[in-house]
Amino acid sequence: MTQIFNIAAYKFVGLADLEQRKAEVMSKAQALVLKGTVLLTPEGINLFLAGTRPAIDSFLIWLRTDPAFADLEVKYSSSEGVPFKKLLVKIKKEIIRMNHPTIRPEAGRAPAVDAHTAARWISEGKDDAGRPVVLLDTRNDFEVQAGTFTGAINWHLSKFTEFPQAVLEHKDELAGKTVISFCTGGIRCEKAAIFMGDVGVENVYQLDGGILKYFEETGGVGYEGNCFVFDERRSLDATLSPQPV
């Protein structure tokens, strides 16, 4: 059986000519028999694709010839079958809807903490400055039910557009602490960290690359359960292997 490689990637970067980009991405992905979803927006790209390793490699080489995506970072996992039924390339207003158009991550990333540093802080319960560390789950509540970091804050969101109001309601609870916002692959926690910084929450970091990158690099230190994913695999354990929900 041919092993299937799955990639997840995003980048906040100002994009124009979206219809032309859509046609080009669709044509290239179809030619390589890839399946999954690519979102193109004025604020950047988000993609989840699956195919053979040569096809995935070929697509990424092609995509990175575009200066906008030359430094695109990708998370890999493998599966025995293709976890997507078809190929979709869509144009949307936001990579992930937040309804706060002033949050434009391509203008500058929020401070990020890498997986190994985060694991050390989590194990020690404090950052390098001695501040207590709290983990803030920015995902929807049904995703959190599959697994999350031990002791993580869960505001029981039903959709990400509820996050800004939740921050304003709980802002005082975060004072004096170092906050690590986390999500599946990095998109929501990056926007979340920027928003929190803008409304005056200090010492906020995004977990660079999200839970999936954390699993890949640390094996899931301090994480309980699995990570919900939006494809037919539904849930991945800390080895990035599919698990039943």
183 carries an active-site annotation = yes
| Spatial separation of the C-alpha atoms in residues 194 and 18, rounded to whole Å | 25
Residues 6+ apart with CB under 8 A from 109: 12, 190, 194, 206
| Spatial separation of the C-alpha atoms in residues 179 and 130, rounded to whole Å | 13
Check 110, 113, 167, 183 and give the catalytic one.
183
| Spatial separation of the C-alpha atoms in residues 84 and 159, rounded to whole Å | 23
Task: Count CA atoms within 13 Å of residue 110 on its CB side.
Answer: 32
Catalytic residues: 183
